[in-house]
Amino acid sequence: MLVFVVDHSGSVPGVTGARVVVSESGFAGTIGGGAAEKQLVERAAGHQGDAEIFRFRHTPSDGGTLCSGVQDFAIVSLSQDDLEPIRSIVDTLGNHRTGTLRLSPGGVGFEPGETSPHAFTGEKESWMYSGPIGLEDTLYIIGGGHVSLAFSRVMATLPFRIIVLDNREDLPTMAANRYAHEQHVVDFDHIGDHVADGDHSWVVIMTFGHVHDQKVLEGLLGRDLAYLGLMGSEAKVRQMYASMEADGVDAKDLEAVQAPVGVSIGSHTPEEIAISIAAEIIALRNGIEHRA
């Protein structure tokens, strides 16, 4: 049985797209935990017949929580008829790609490739859900050193496809990086060729020297990106910006760069720096425009 959050509103523990699979041996995944998950897992375990929609209203008294929103769940029986789309989903996720999932009373459908926004229409016997599945957002980490390794480790727990780019061969920290989905040795003079445009592209520059940082930054300025961040001290950033403006770089382009990158938490170690950058990216991804 597949239990899938097809829609939500208000304060809820599991947003649209959260899912859990229930079988005789247990369940995998989560739809937010708490009273809703317990009730839905029990309901799915005893479910028979066609797919159904179940609405769960949270109140502050439910399980001692303060949630006060609504979740709409689809409970879908998985059968041999769904084996082909499920295999396609597994293959897509295994290759760190994306696609569009479709759920209806008729079962599961999947279209690998382009994704569409979450959409839920209808109710009871006549309903349809479609939405993205897989890693839509790509994080480009430019630089493969110690902070890059720590940053990859943190970001691997989040829904990002991670690509590390460096211009150094045989770098031990890149060899030790088992968290990135891809790693490439590239020429920083052509860094733009390795970074895709679009609001799903997030870039953090952390090369091994300010000369390389500036070259990479110049190669990516003005690009259509969700995020462009530069690691370094405030003094380093001021010095670099002054040099670039003297060379004719538009100050407005530089204002769009998150620099120094990360939330200010007094970080010093690679692990602390990684957490500060991850926190900033999460905030911006969730629509919180905040720089501490």
Same domain for 149 and 25, yes or no, is no
> Is 245 found in the same domain as 157?
yes
| Closest to 230 (Cα-Cα) out of 138, 141, 139, 137 | 141
CATH number, residue 208? 3.40.50.720
Query: 98 and 183: one domain?
Result: no
Domain end marker among 115, 134, 153: 134
CA 15/CA 48 separation, integer angstroms: 25
Q: Are residues 56 and 17 part of one domain?
A: yes
Q: Encoding tokens for residue 97?
A: 């790609």
Q: Please indicate, yes or no, if residue 167 is contained in any of the structural domains.
A: yes
What number of helices (H) and strands (E) belong to the chain? Answer: 8, 14
* 209 and 261 together in one domain: yes
- Hey, what are 126's tokens? 């006549």
Residues 122, 146 within the same domain: no
**217 in a domain, yes or no?**
yes
Per-residue pLDDT tens digits for 45-61: 888 777 889 888 887 65
Claim to verify: residue 153 and residue 234 sit in the same structural domain: yes
Are both 125 and 166 inside the same structural domain?
Answer: no
Kindly state whether residue 290 falls inside one of the protein's structural domains.
no
Q: What is the mean pLDDT of residues 172-184?
A: 97
3-state secondary structure 2-37: EEEEEEEECCCCCCCCCEEEEECCEEEEECCCHHHH
* Domain annotation covers residue 291: no
Average pLDDT, the chain: 91
Which residues are 165's β-sheet partners?
Answer: 142, 184
* pLDDT at residue 208, as a whole number: 94
User: Do 215 and 277 share a structural domain?
Assistant: yes
Distant-in-sequence, close-in-space partners of 71: CB < 8 Å, separation ≥ 6: 5, 7, 8, 12, 14, 31, 32, 36, 55, 56, 58
Contact in structure between 231 and 273 (CB atoms under 8 Å):
yes
pLDDT digits (tens, 9 = 90+) for 195-213: 999 999 999 999 999 999 9
Q: Give me the percent of the chain exceeding a pLDDT of 70.
A: 96
Q: How confident is the model at residue 141 (pLDDT cuts 50, 70, 90)?
A: very high
In whole angstroms, how large is the CA radius of gyration of the chain? 22
The answer to whether residues 111 and 100 touch, using CB atoms and an 8 Å cutoff, is: yes
Q: Are residues 124 and 261 in the same domain?
A: no
Is residue 50 in a domain?
yes
- Contact call for residues 236 and 210 (beta carbons, < 8 A): yes
* Residue 237 predicted with pLDDT over 60: yes
The answer to the question of residue 163 being in a domain is: yes
pTM of the model: 0.82
Whether the per-residue pLDDT at 9 is higher than 60: the answer is yes
pLDDT band at 222 (very low <50, low <70, confident <90, very high): very high
Q: Is 95 left (phi over 0), alpha (psi -120 to 50) or beta?
A: alpha
Q: How far is CA 247 from the centre of its chain?
A: 36
Give the count of domains, the chain.
2
pLDDT at 292 over 90: no
Mark whether 85 and 7 lie in a shared domain: yes
**Residue 94 domain-assigned (yes or no):** yes
Mean pLDDT throughout 263-268?
A: 91
What domain range includes position 101? Answer: 2-134
Tell me: do 125 and 28 sit in the same domain: yes
pLDDT at 74 over 60: yes
Q: At which of 134, 151, 180 does a domain end?
A: 134
| Domain's final residue, options 113, 134, 155 | 134
Spatial distance between the Cα atoms of 56 and 44, rounded to a whole number of angstroms: 14
Residue 292 falls inside a structural domain: no
